[in-house]
């Protein structure tokens, strides 16, 4: 298992107010990466992701993935917003409205999965 | 008991972006047919509520499978954009004794639990907005790589069921299927541009899957069909700690032959399973101790190598429930520090008798609780008094104890040190902002005693600006209110005007004194209306324009309907003529202050000097207290205890 192609170019963590990719984290803050990759419980991983993945970081990750052409229109069996283009998704995430918070939660869950992938 | 090996599959077609859902669910039907099940496809317009209900009532299927749009409270197949719920939290009792799978958004939040509470064997759905990616929303997702991963994952749940697996196994298979596709995206397809986004949403959907009810339930019966009867049914109501007996028989369906030595489970909400073994006559019996609250229970035979599973009827038992009847409502108003009374009876729902010795508290006054102890017949009386001028909504509450469940009365508004009111005084409700300066809408309200209208009070919002580049001339910068009777639509009263400065932001209550104190009649419905300047915007072929008018707004008939009749500002129509109705889904903060009136009784007595004659008046005192009586210059009092 490996990170999907292109994910290595996205900001992966925020350290001292700066967004860093995985490589940058490895070079500049190896101790942070080491702590992240230590075999810890799933709960610990979730905890790390929750603490480090700010909404700004998550939104930036989505935006860059969108600019790389790797985000699609999503369809939902939802009464209010059954279809959302990537641009609409980004607006909702930036606005942090109800839909935006759902989109951020999905992005956060995916970041937790990436941490799991790297650890394994 | 519903019919095994039978399913209704609800497959909307052209509804909002549901075409792909239609194709996806068709694969479930295909597999069910291969497995030999009877499949009733409710497609396109047949997926609406009435035909779905007809099919369920006719075929009595054990399995309801459906795709559609969802919310926390409802599942809908909204053909042609009509948001028309097939099932919602208040209308899902038809799903009793069935297994329900809703491929939809959010229904696991409230609708799923409601389905279980209405006696369904099991429910599966999502507590999130189920989301998918697709290369083409108009074709079968199984023919597409990206969309296929989503629909194949979700479909694994109903497909496992039609293949004979139990609900718990179906859940595991579904999660495994999601994980299978996530793993594909993380390995052999990790270089695909859709990999990241697909993993993200597959994780989201996987973790949103929610399965409730009995995990041992299956919809496919193999072997000889069996029947579980219930010969001694549990009671509808019981007391906490009661031991109730439920008894029945396990029989071969076709021959009614008894099946001895088989294990029958009793499934009871919130409690571990209990089991009984059938005797030589196929009889099983269990004694169950009742816990406080509402419980559902049913019997279950899981089946074995020779015999099919069977489910007994589901029963609902209310244990330790109470109700509070109000025998004397609090008055609509009281003076500051005046003591008025509120009475009722606390009742044991199981026996219908009063519950003695229980504490009942007064809630809502905001200055601490007043306590009463129910007497030997369950009767209680609460004293209501406050030194703070306010209009609280008060109610009586029994908080429950180890044996009995809590209950409350309805709430009553009491004006203390203020004029009583009728209408809606919840501030801010129903205000319309945006391009509608100063509009509120009203609703129809009933007055509970005779009175004289003093003021209309409305919550108004004046906006400070319109959309950029728009202009608007205010035709009238005045607002006034009126009151119409509901029964004959006649004008009952008109208020003085209130002037405002256009586009000067204002939000708050405005009091409109009535020109004349109109008489208000007890138990009569009145329509509140308000005259105010209205801006009407329109959009024709992309050109946005506006006009302005003064209109009469109010509410006619049912709640949440706005009536709209164009009249000139100073016109007071003698009757509220044939209003247009349009639902807006909101009610307004608007109420009428009135002075209560006591019925006035007169008798004329002519006496010659030296004569006397007894005069009798009938008075029905509404509350405990000292009453003052005067006849010409003769005065006296009487006391009501």
Look up the CATH number of the domain holding residue B238. 2.60.40.10
Domain total of chain B: 4
Does one domain contain both B513 and B559? yes
Beta carbons of B581 and B565 less than 8 angstroms apart: no
Q: What is the mean pLDDT of residues B193-209?
A: 96
Same domain, B68 and B205: yes
Residue B639 lies in a domain: no
Residue B612 domain-assigned (yes or no)? no
Is B198 found in the same domain as B174? Answer: yes
**8 Å CB contact between B227 and B109:** no
Across B261-275, B311-325, B542-556, least confident range: B542-556
Q: Which residues pair with B397 in a beta bridge?
A: B361, B408
pLDDT band of residue B463 (cuts 50, 70, 90) is low
One domain for residues B236 and B162: no
Query: Residues of A with CB below 8 A from B131's CB?
Result: 74-76, 106
- Whether A12 shows a pLDDT value over 60: the answer reads yes
Helix, strand, or coil here: B461? strand
Q: Are residues B93 and B137 in the same domain?
A: yes
Element (H, E) at A59: helix A55-67
Range ranked top by mean pLDDT from B252-266, B420-434, B528-542, B586-600 = B252-266
Tell whether B101 and B183 lie within a shared domain: yes
Range ranked top by mean pLDDT from B221-225, B384-388, B507-511: B384-388
Looking at B416, B438, B463, the residue that finishes a domain is: B416
In chain A, what residues touch B128 (CB-CB under 8 Å)? 102
Give the pLDDT confidence score for residue B582 in this predicted structure. Answer: 36
pLDDT at B510 over 80: yes
Residue B625 lies in a domain: no
B interface test, pick of A75, A107, A113, A118 with most B CB neighbours within 10 Å:
A75
Of A4, A74, A75, the CB nearest to B199: A4
Six token digits for residue A99: 């839909």
Among candidates B334, B266, B351, which has minimal Cα distance to B301? Answer: B266
pLDDT mean over B54-83: 83
Inter-chain Cβ pairs, chain A and chain B, closer than 8 A? 106
Spatial neighbors of B357 by CB under 8 A, at least 6 apart, are B373, B374
pLDDT greater than 90 at residue B320: yes
CATH number at residue B166: 3.40.50.1460
pLDDT tens digits along B541-592:
333 333 333 344 443 333 333 444 444 555 555 555 444 333 333 445 678 9
**CA A26 to the chain's CA centroid:** 18
In a domain, B286, yes or no: yes
Q: At residue A20, does pLDDT exceed 90?
A: no
Q: What is the pLDDT of residues B361-380, one digit of tens each?
A: 998 886 666 888 999 999 99
Residue identified by tokens 């008109």 is: B494
Residue B182 in domain: yes
Whether B563 and B454 share a structural domain: yes
Residue B457's pLDDT band, with cuts at 50, 70 and 90, is: confident
Per-domain boundaries in chain A: 7-70+103-119
Model confidence over B496-507: pLDDT tens digits?
988 877 667 677
Asked if residue B564 is part of any domain, the answer here is yes
B168 and B71 co-located in one domain: yes
pLDDT digits (tens, 9 = 90+) for B124-168: 999 999 999 999 988 999 999 999 999 999 999 999 999 999 999
Q: Kindly state the average pLDDT of the residues A59-80.
A: 89
Distance CA B538, CA B540 (A): 6
pLDDT in tens, B90-131: 889 999 989 999 998 899 999 999 999 888 999 999 999 999
Helix, strand or coil, per DSSP, at residue B510: strand
Give mean pLDDT, residues A36-41: 57
- In chain A, what residues touch B130 (CB-CB under 8 Å)? 76-77
Claim to verify: residue B362 and residue B502 sit in the same structural domain: no
Residue B58 pLDDT greater than 80, yes or no: yes
Confirm whether B85 is domain-assigned: yes
Of the two residues B67 and B468, the one the predictor is more confident about is B67
Query: Of B187, B213, B239, which residue is a domain's last?
Result: B213
Q: Does B107 touch chain A (CB under 8 A)?
A: no
* pLDDT, average across residues B256-275: 90
More confident: B396 or B423: B396
Note down the domain range covering B231.
226-319
* Distance to chain A for B201, nearest Cα, Å: 7
Question: Is B633 a residue whose pLDDT tops 70?
Answer: no
* pLDDT at residue B313 greater than cutoff 50: yes
3 state SS of B518: coil
Q: Which two tokens stand for residue B466?
A: 């319109």
The helix or strand, by DSSP H or E, that contains position B443, with its residue range, turns out to be: none
Chain A residue with the nearest C-alpha to that of B66? A77
B186 contact A CB<8A: yes
B588 part of a folded domain: yes
Both B198 and B279 in a single domain? Answer: no
């Amino acid at each position: 298992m490996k990170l999907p192609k292109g994910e290595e170019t996205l900001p992966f963590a925020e350290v001292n107010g700066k967004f860093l990719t995985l490589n940058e984290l490895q070079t500049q803050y190896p101790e942070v990466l080491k702590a992240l990759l230590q075999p810890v419980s799933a709960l610990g991983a979730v905890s790390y992701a929750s603490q480090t993945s700010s909404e700004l970081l998550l939104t930036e990750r989505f935006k860059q993935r969108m600019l790389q052409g790797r985000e699609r229109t999503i369809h939902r069996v939802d009464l209010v917003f059954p279809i959302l283009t990537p641009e609409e998704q980004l607006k909702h995430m930036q606005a942090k409205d109800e839909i935006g918070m759902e989109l951020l939660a999905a992005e956060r869950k995916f970041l937790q999965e990436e941490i799991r992938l790297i650890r394994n | 008991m519903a019919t095994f090996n039978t399913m209704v599959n609800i497959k909307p077609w052209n509804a909002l972006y549901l075409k792909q859902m239609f194709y996806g669910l068709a694969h479930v039907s295909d597999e069910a047919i291969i497995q030999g099940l009877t499949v009733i496809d409710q497609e396109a317009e047949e997926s609406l509520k009435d035909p779905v209900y007809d099919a369920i009532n006719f075929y009595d299927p054990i399995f309801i499978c459906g795709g559609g749009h969802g919310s926390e409270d409802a599942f809908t197949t909204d053909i042609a954009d009509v948001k028309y719920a097939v099932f919602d939290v208040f209308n899902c009792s038809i799903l009793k004794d069935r297994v329900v799978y809703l491929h939809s958004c959010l229904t696991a939040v409230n609708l799923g639990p409601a389905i279980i509470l209405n006696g369904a064997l099991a429910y599966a759905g999502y507590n999130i907005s189920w989301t998918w990616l697709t290369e083409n929303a108009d074709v079968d997702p199984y023919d597409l790589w990206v969309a296929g991963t989503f629909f194949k994952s979700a479909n694994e749940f109903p497909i496992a069921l039609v293949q004979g697996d139990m609900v718990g196994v179906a859940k595991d298979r579904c999660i495994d299927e999601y994980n299978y596709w996530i793993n594909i995206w993380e390995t052999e397809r990790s270089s695909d541009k859709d990999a990241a986004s697909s993993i993200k949403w597959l994780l989201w959907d996987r973790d949103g899957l929610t399965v409730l009810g009995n995990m041992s339930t299956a919809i496919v019966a193999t072997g000889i069909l069996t029947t579980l009867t219930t010969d001694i049914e549990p009671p509808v109501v019981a007391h906490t700690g009661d031991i109730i007996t439920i008894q029945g028989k396990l029989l071969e369906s076709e021959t009614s032959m008894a099946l001895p030595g088989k294990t029958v489970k009793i499934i009871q909400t919130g409690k571990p399973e209990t089991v009984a073994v059938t005797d030589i006559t196929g009889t099983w019996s269990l004694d169950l101790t009742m816990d406080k609250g509402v419980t559902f229970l049913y019997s279950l035979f899981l089946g074995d190598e020779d015999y099919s599973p069977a489910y007994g009827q589901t029963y609902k038992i209310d244990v330790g429930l109470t109700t509070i009847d109000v025998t004397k409502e609090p008055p609509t108003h009281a003076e500051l520090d005046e003591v008025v009374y509120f009475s009722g009876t606390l009742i044991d729902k199981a026996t219908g008798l009063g519950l003695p010795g229980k504490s009942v508290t007064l809630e809502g006054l905001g200055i601490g609780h007043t306590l009463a102890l129910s007497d030997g017949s369950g009767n209680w009386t609460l004293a209501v008094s406050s030194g703070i001028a306010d209009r609280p909504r008060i109610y009586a509450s029994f908080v429950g104890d180890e044996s009995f469940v809590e209950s409350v009365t309805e709430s009553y508004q009491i004006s203390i040190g203020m004029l009583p009111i009728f209408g809606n005084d919840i501030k801010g409700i129903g205000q319309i902002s945006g391009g509608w300066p100063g509009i509120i809408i009203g609703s129809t309200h009933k007055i509970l005693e005779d009175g004289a209208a003093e003021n209309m009070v409305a919550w108004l919002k004046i906006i400070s600006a319109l959309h950029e580049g728009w202009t608007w001339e205010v035709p009238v910068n005045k607002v006034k209110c009126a009151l119409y009777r509901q029964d004959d639509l006649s004008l009952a009263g008109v208020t003085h005007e209130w002037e405002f400065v256009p586009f000067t932001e204002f939000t708050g209550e405005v009091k409109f004194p009535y020109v004349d104190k109109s008489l208000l009649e007890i138990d009569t419905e009145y329509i509140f209306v308000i005259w105010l300047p209205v801006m009407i915007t329109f959009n024709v072929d992309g050109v946005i324009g506006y006009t302005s008018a003064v209109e009469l707004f109010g509410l006619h008939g049912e709640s949440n309907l706005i009536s709209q009749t164009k009249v000139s500002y100073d016109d007071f129509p003698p009757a509220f003529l044939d209003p247009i109705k349009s639902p807006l889904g909101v009610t307004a903060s608007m109420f009428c202050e009135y002075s209560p009136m006591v019925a006035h009784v007169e008798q004329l007595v002519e006496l010659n000097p030296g004569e006397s004659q007894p005069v009798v008046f009938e008075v029905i005192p509404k509350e405990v207290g000292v009453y003052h009586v005067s006849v010409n210059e003769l005065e006296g009092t009487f006391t009501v205890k």
